[in-house]
Amino acid sequence: MSDPTVAQLFDLTGRVALITGGSKGLGRSMALGLAQAGATTVLLSRHIEEATRAAADLEAEAKRESLGLAGDVTVEAEVTRAVEAVVGKYGRLDVLINSAGINIRHAIENFPPADFHRVVETNLTGTWLCCRAVSRIMKEAKRGSVINVGSALSHVGLAERTAYTAAKAGVLGMTRTLALEWAAFGVRCNAICPGPFLTEMNRPLLAEPAKAAAVVGLTAVNRWAELHEIRGAAVFLASDASTYVTGSALDVDGGWTAK
């Protein structure tokens, strides 16, 4: 049997992907990349109107089926219901991208504990619940790729982000552990660690030009990333192009962590 071509390695035709936080920002951009590579995509959002609208837009743009679902990644029953809905409709689940996330910025002495818990619950516990929900399904199928969205701040610190850095460092530790747990079952787990993309989460920084410039200045390329620049990493990790890659952190950070 001949080796697969590069086009075959990156082809996601027939695969089904669930993307949390998939209605906007990096989640939507990664979903579009997977759809353009041939995947059927399911976009999970807390708001069904956002999820449905984003899925319709993505389907029209990529000419691939896309479905919007409502669910809060911090609520176990809603995560379970979403995963069961995907498997019930399509009979399979090949890719999970854990992109749902929030960030709240305060100096630690001004950081309300409730806000700290919100950030950790969404970014870390939500990722854990989604991984847990797909684990048995993917292990039984003996295939699957889970992509957790970390951050450049999984590796380094940044002032006023104690909750976010703690959560994103935890995502990276979880990713490595799950790679070991799942390796014998043909299931891979990797992380994408983005730098400063100008998403809805980061737009508040524009109100403080000095802080925005300082964040962008941490990168080697000295600019904000464009949303499409996350797609190649997502397609690579979702596809057979990365079958020997697990437990890794793919930094898409403009050289931030190289400095």
Exposed/middle/buried for residue 50 (C-beta within 10 Å: 0-12, 13-18, 19+): middle
Q: How far is CA 25 from the centre of its chain?
A: 10
Q: Which long-range contacts (CB under 8 A, 24 or more apart) does 197-202 make?
A: 197/25, 197/26, 197/224, 197/225, 197/226, 197/227, 197/229, 197/230, 198/224, 198/225, 198/226, 198/227, 199/24, 199/25, 199/26, 199/227, 200/24, 200/25, 201/25, 201/101, 201/102, 201/103, 202/103
Cα–Cα dist 231/26, whole Å: 9
Indicate which residue of 164, 224, 236, 256 is catalytic.
164
Q: Six-digit token pair at 29?
A: 């951009």
Catalytic annotation on 164? yes
Residues involved in catalysis: 164
